[in-house]
């Protein structure tokens, strides 16, 4: 079961800690099967579409504020905050 389930577009997600969390976007996935991730606040946020967050995962911060992540149905996006309480917007394209 996912830590976060996206039910609206866009949706604000708050990472509650520094452990790996998961995001299910199946309910709102768009025809392009991509998700736009936009940094809102906090320290760095790491995102991985292929499994648990690792050192080479994509990172959002105040200097890199957005990127697009490919998505397949039934796959969970993984995220991890740098200090906890980071927030970001997720929009399915």
- DSSP conformation class of 18: S
Which pLDDT belongs to residue 5?
A: 94
Tens-digit pLDDT profile for the chain (93 aa)? 899 999 999 999 999 888 999 999 988 887 778 899 999 999 999 999 888 998 888 899 999 999 999 888 888 999 999 888 999 999 988
Please give the Cα distance from 26 to 39 (Å, whole number): 21
CA distance 61 to 38: 9
Q: Look-up: residue for tokens 């697009």?
A: 68
pLDDT at 73: 86
Looking at 2.60.120, 3.40.30, 2.40.50, 3.40.50, the CATH number of the domain 4-92 comes to 2.60.120
pLDDT in the model for residue 42: 94
Domain spans in the chain, listed from the N-terminal domain onward = 4-92
Q: Rounded to two decimals, what is the model's pTM?
A: 0.89
In three-state secondary structure terms, 28 is: helix
The count of C-alpha atoms lying within 13 angstroms of the C-alpha of 71, restricted to the half-sphere facing its C-beta, is: 28
């Amino acid at each position: 079961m996912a830590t976060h389930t996206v039910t609206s577009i866009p949706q604000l997600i708050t990472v509650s800690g520094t452990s790996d969390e998961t995001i299910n976007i199946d309910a709102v996935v768009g025809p392009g099967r991509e998700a736009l991730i936009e940094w809102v606040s906090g320290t760095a946020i790491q995102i991985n579409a292929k499994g648990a967050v690792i050192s080479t995962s994509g990172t959002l911060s105040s200097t890199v504020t957005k990127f697009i992540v490919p998505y397949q149905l039934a796959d969970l996006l993984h995220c991890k905050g740098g200090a906890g309480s980071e927030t970001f917007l997720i929009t399915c394209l």
